[in-house]
Amino acid sequence: MTTFKALVVDRVGGTIRTRVQQLERTRLPAGEVTVAVAWSTLNHQDAQVMNGLGRRVPRYPHVPGCDLAGTVEDSRDPAWPPGTPVMLTGWSVGADRWGGLAQLARVEADWLMPMPDGLTPRQAMGIGTPGLTAMLAIEALEAHGVTPQRGEILVTGTPGGVGSMAVALLAALGYRVVAAIAQPASDRYVKLLGAVEAIDRARFARAPEHDLEAPRWAGCIDTAGGNSLARALAEMMPGGAAVAIGQSADKGLTTSTLPFIVRGVNLLGIHSDSCPHERRTAAWQRIVETLPAETLEAMLDEAVLEDLPILAGVMLEGRVSGRIVVDVNA
């Protein structure tokens, strides 16, 4: 390929503009391995980058895409010979440097993973960073004594990517999952993924009335932050644990210390982007063994690069359920 198609974010005057362009191969950044991308995905961070929000990109023009799956096309590292099926999630790809929403990507060898056995590149991108993040959150809960026998798990940020993955993985592992949703239309979707109940997230928009509320949750996976996380903490059962993943509602957190010092609650953090290889590989293997293929399929919508400027806005308005996989060669 002497030229390749890519989704290019550019700053024209003061305005961020995103469109598909045909680029010369010589425009690829320096790096050890060139990957012929088969599938990528639209993540929350990509939607932000395409709208000039969130994390700053170092320079324009920029190619977004945190996640990619494909085949090694060219390599300076003998560990990754041409033809090897590979995938990549995180490592600041698509933010600090050009990412996977293109037919070609050039990356460092250390960031690649072999394609897990049992997954197609499309399925791997359906899972993507949100699936890895959700599994790491579940493993953090387990490491702090949360088991299906301990009680219900609250998941916020559904039907978004991380929330959907968390509901589906927890349910497949035997947990009773309660999903906080905003739209009545999401009720059927989260139950399809395995939630036993959907509750109105409006109650999590308000700060808790008391330092400790009636205990309900054995565990919580929260992607919203702010009052959502503060209320979940106040409602945790003794010995429960909550994982803070995102800030869809608010990056702040105002909480009493009483959940920690009276109920022994643990508040845990996850940063999947730079998760070390050994833990990352084990988490992916467990996702493959846990997530039923039909549940994953129920979360997926397909798109092509040309669809993404509009879909990014739709995602930021909270009108996307589940995951969008992107066929970069269509």
Ligand X SMILES: NC(=O)c1ccc[n+]([C@@H]2O[C@H](COP(=O)([O-])OP(=O)(O)OC[C@H]3O[C@@H](n4cnc5c(N)ncnc54)[C@H](OP(=O)(O)O)[C@@H]3O)[C@@H](O)[C@H]2O)c1
Nearest residue (CB) to ligand X, 56 versus 76: 56
Q: Which of 89, 248, 255, 295 binds ligand X (CB under 6 A)?
A: 248
CA 206 to chain centre: 25
d(CA 56, CA 155) in angstroms, rounded, equals: 29
Stretch that binds ligand X, among 2-10, 73-81, 243-251, 289-297 (CB under 6 A): 243-251
Give the interface size with ligand X as a residue count (CB under 6 A): 32
d(CA 282, CA 136) in angstroms, rounded, equals: 10
3 state SS of 58: coil
Nearest residue (CB) to ligand X, 185 versus 262: 185
3 state SS of 259: helix
Stretch that binds ligand X, among 103-111, 234-242, 247-255, 290-298 (CB under 6 A): 247-255
Give the CB-nearest residue to ligand X: 160
Which of 84, 103, 107 shows the shortest CA–CA distance to 94?
Answer: 107
Q: Which tokens hold the place of 105? A: 């990507």
280 is an interface residue for ligand X by CB under 6 A: no
d(CA 192, CA 200) in angstroms, rounded, equals: 17
CB of 49 to ligand X, least distance (A): 11
246 is an interface residue for ligand X by CB under 6 A: yes
With a CB cutoff of 8 Å and minimum separation 6, the contacts of 93 are 65, 66, 68, 99, 100, 105, 107, 111
d(CA 328, CA 71) in angstroms, rounded, equals: 13
Stretch that binds ligand X, among 11-19, 152-160, 187-195, 283-291 (CB under 6 A): 152-160
CB of 201 to ligand X, least distance (A): 5
Nearest residue (CB) to ligand X, 6 versus 221: 221
Give the contact letters, 199-238, x = binds to ligand X (CB under 6 A), - = no: --x---------------------xx---x----------
CB of 75 to ligand X, least distance (A): 28
Stretch that binds ligand X, among 17-25, 115-123, 150-158, 230-238 (CB under 6 A): 150-158
Give the contact letters, 96-135, x = binds to ligand X (CB under 6 A), - = no: ---------------------------------xx--x--
Q: Which of 271, 282, 293, 310 binds ligand X (CB under 6 A)?
A: 271
Q: Which of 315, 325, 326, 328 binds ligand X (CB under 6 A)?
A: 315
Q: Which of 70, 157, 219, 240 binds ligand X (CB under 6 A)?
A: 157
Helix, strand counts (H, E) of the chain: 9, 15
* Contact (CB, 8 A) for 252 and 277: no
247 is an interface residue for ligand X by CB under 6 A: yes
Q: In angstroms, what CA-CA distances link 72 with 6, 65, 87, 116, 117?
A: 18, 17, 10, 15, 17
Nearest residue (CB) to ligand X, 144 versus 201: 201
Going 69 to 73 to 77 to 79, the CA torsion angle's sign is: positive
Residue at 212: amino acid letter? L
28 is an interface residue for ligand X by CB under 6 A: no
183 is an interface residue for ligand X by CB under 6 A: yes
* Contact (CB, 8 A) for 178 and 155: yes
182 is an interface residue for ligand X by CB under 6 A: yes
Which of 196, 236, 194, 231 shows the shortest CA–CA distance to 215?
Answer: 236
Half-sphere exposure for 297 (CA within 13 Å, toward CB): 5
Q: Which tokens hold the place of 195? A: 């939630």
Interface contacts to ligand X, rule CB under 6 A: 43-45, 129-130, 133, 156-163, 182-183, 201, 223-224, 228, 245-249, 270-273, 315, 318, 320
